[in-house]
Every structure is written in C-alpha cells, then in structure tokens.
C-alpha cells in the first residue's frame, strides 16, 4: 500500500510541473522561465498619436495541459511595462492593449492577460503601442537591437502548480526613423515616381548626371496653423548595397537618389525647411543610379520598384 501511495504522489507532482506551457509560435520552442529577446520589424511610416508596432500573439502562445483540473493565469506584473530609454528620452510614451483595455506606462496595478480553462493553444493577445509627441516630433533614428518595450510577466495555475516569471524584451529588427506629429506631407498621399522605360546604358553612377530625373513637389500641412518653426525633412529607406547615397530597388545594381536644391539626400539623412502658419513647401528630385561594377545578376531587364518614406521632424 505504501508503494502505491508513493507512485501516486510522484504522478501528481509530475503533472503539476507540466500543467501549463508556453511556446514560440514561429519555432515551436518551449518558453521557460527567464529572458527572451524578440526582434520586431519597425515601420518609419508612423502616424500621429498611437502606433501599434507588435502583437505578442505573433510570437508566443500558451496552453493548459490539464483543463478541468487547473485554471491557468498569465499577468503583466505591477510596473511591468517598460518603454525603451531611447524613446522616452525623446518624448515618446507608450503602453499596451489587453482585452480591449488600454494601459499606459507605468502600470500601477497588475494586468490579467488571460485565464485558460480549455486545452487549446491561445496566442498572447497583447498589442504594444508607442505614442508620438506633437505638434512636430524629434528626429529619432532607431537602430537594429534598440529596445522598444519590455514586459515583465508572471504565469501560475490554481490549484497552485509551477509559477514562472518572464521578461520579454522587444527590440527593433531594422533601422527606422520615428518622428511625427500633427503635420503631414502631401496630405499623407503616396508620392508616385514613375521612370517609365529606361535603358541601363543611359543610367549614370551619379544621380545628378543621369538622364532619368523626376521632380516632385512636397507640401507640408499641420493641423495647428499657429506653428511657425524650422523643421527637418528626412529620408527613411534601405540603403543600396553599392552606394551610401542611394536607396535600394528590387533590381540588384539599381538604386534611386533624392536631391534637394542640388544636394543629394542619403538614406537616414535630411534637409532643413520651415513652416509658416502651419504650412510649407519644397521640391525634390528623384534620379536613377547604377552600380559602377555590375555583376552577372545586376541590372536585369524587367519591372522594378522601391519604397521610401519622408518624415517631418524637429531639426
């Protein structure tokens, strides 16, 4: 009888330790207690006020392994939402949405994320957001690896099983410019630059010398018509592999340069302008450039496109 009792006790303890599990939904790897670094793509094209940049459910999910016997809980700890220092230093704020409720930094109370009673996998539905300063935000370059937000979480079961604490740090996976406010460029409409049919022999390695040049007017408009200040207009785009002054296209060996008043504006650089009564205007020129040393896969025939963002910030 004693041997049966010992075996039964061991079984219960074993099941308790595995009553509740979480995993990385992309790799299937179990997520144990401790720290996790999560790299998330960041878009420079943010809007005024709140911008959701990630949902935790795209990275992690949890499951109750013993439904009916246990109820599993996940909470964000008190003071468990931390905005990256680089963002807070430039006047950004932020927080999370959990179950349609909004919580800003700092959270003075713990936040229940979910209570699991069934045996299904449940994505951890937490939206992470940053809020921009206004009317014109500071110029802020986010580098790969910069901290965007950190969450301190706690999971447990009732009846009490194994408790675990998580520290999940969300960092930028790419380089981006974050700066915005109540001012927009060209009414937030797409600036379409169509070069039409081009001949690769007519493309220069220097944008100012190529025949393919297209001018575009930029109009700045702010909700607050009392804004009178100097601004910076910055270019956010992936740098071409063969040039520090051009941004990349989908065709290897082909890039685009942007000029303002005859000066090239490289990716993650900008030019100065100004707002008067909440409005302003500039002209920029887009040109095609090619690599000076094309390889077999460079400058292939076919359609190409490129993406970039222009951003208004404080100088």
Give the lowest-confidence range in 173-182, 184-193, 238-247, 292-301. 173-182
How does residue 13 score in pLDDT terms, banded at 50, 70 and 90?
very low
Cα separation, 52 vs 199, in Å, equals 42
Please report the pLDDT score of residue 48 as a whole number.
Answer: 67
How does residue 170 score in pLDDT terms, banded at 50, 70 and 90?
very high
CB 115 within 8 A of CB 73: yes
CB 72 within 8 A of CB 19: yes
CB 221 within 8 A of CB 274: no
Q: Whole-model pTM above 0.85?
A: no
CA distances from 75 to 22, 33, 152, 163, 172 (A): 13, 14, 9, 11, 24
Task: Give the β-pairing of 101-104 and 93-98.
Answer: antiparallel
| pLDDT (average), residues 6-30 | 63
Q: Which residues contact 15 (CB under 8 A, 6 or more apart)?
A: 65, 66
CB 308 within 8 A of CB 235: yes
Please report the pLDDT score of residue 8 as a whole number.
Answer: 40
Which domains does the chain possess? Answer: 19-177 (2.60.40.1090), 183-313 (2.60.40.1090)
């Amino acid at each position: 009888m004693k041997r049966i009792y010992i075996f039964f006790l061991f079984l219960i303890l074993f099941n308790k330790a595995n009553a509740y599990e979480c995993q990385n939904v992309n790799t299937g790897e179990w997520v144990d207690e401790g720290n996790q670094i999560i790299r998330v793509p960041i878009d420079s094209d943010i809007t005024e006020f709140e911008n959701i940049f990630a949902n935790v459910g795209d990275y992690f999910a949890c499951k109750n392994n013993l439904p009916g016997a246990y109820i599993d809980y996940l909470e964000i700890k008190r003071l468990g939402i931390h905005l990256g220092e680089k963002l807070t230093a430039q006047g950004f704020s932020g927080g999370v949405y959990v179950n349609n409720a909004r919580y800003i930094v700092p959270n003075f109370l713990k936040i229940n994320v979910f209570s699991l009673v069934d045996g299904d996998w449940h994505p951890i539905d937490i939206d992470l957001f940053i809020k921009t300063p206004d009317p014109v935000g500071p110029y802020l370059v986010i580098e790969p690896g910069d901290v965007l937000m950190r969450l301190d979480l706690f999971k447990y079961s009732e009846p009490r099983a194994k408790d675990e604490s998580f520290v999940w740090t969300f960092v930028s996976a790419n380089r981006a410019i974050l700066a915005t406010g109540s001012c927009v460029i060209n009414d937030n409409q797409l600036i379409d630059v169509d070069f039409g049919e081009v001949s690769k022999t007519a493309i220069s390695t220097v944008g100012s010398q190529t025949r393919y040049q297209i001018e575009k007017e930029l109009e700045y408009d702010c909700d607050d018509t009392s804004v009178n200040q100097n601004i910076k207009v910055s270019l956010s785009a992936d740098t071409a592999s063969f040039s520090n002054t051009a941004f990349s296209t989908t065709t290897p060996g082909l890039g685009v340069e942007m000029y303002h008043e005859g000066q090239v504006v490289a990716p993650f650089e900008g030019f100065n302008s100004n707002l008067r009564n909440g409005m302003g205007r500039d002209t920029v020129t887009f040109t095609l450039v090619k690599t000076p040393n094309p390889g077999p896969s460079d400058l292939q025939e076919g359609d190409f496109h490129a993406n970039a963002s222009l951003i208004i910030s404080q100088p």
